[in-house]
Amino acid sequence: MPIIVNLDVMMAKRKISLNELSGKVGLTLSNLSILKTGKAKAIRFSTLEAICKVLECQPADILEYKVS
């Protein structure tokens, strides 16, 4: 898939755990883990907004498009 999810990179930069992010965003650990590993097929804008708000970043910091 040409869309790469860099959630783990941003979490490391902000020194935040999956458990902490899950609590602040309001997502289950399993759903957040699916997103973090790049196995998600879609993401709601409201979820992306909540993650960006907590991590103080832009959507492009989390999602990257790779040309194959």
Mean pLDDT for the stretch of residues 6-34 = 96
CATH code at 38? 1.10.260.40
Read off the pLDDT band of 68 (50, 70, 90).
confident
CA dist 42 and 34 (Å) reads 10
What are the structure tokens assigned to 43, written together? 């993401």
pLDDT in tens, 38-50: 899 999 999 999 9
Number of domains within the chain:
1
pTM: 0.91
Considering Cα of 30, then 32, then 34, then 40, what sign does the dihedral take? Answer: positive
Instruction: Answer yes or no: is pLDDT of 1 > 70.
Output: no
The domain containing residue 42 runs over which residues?
A: 3-65
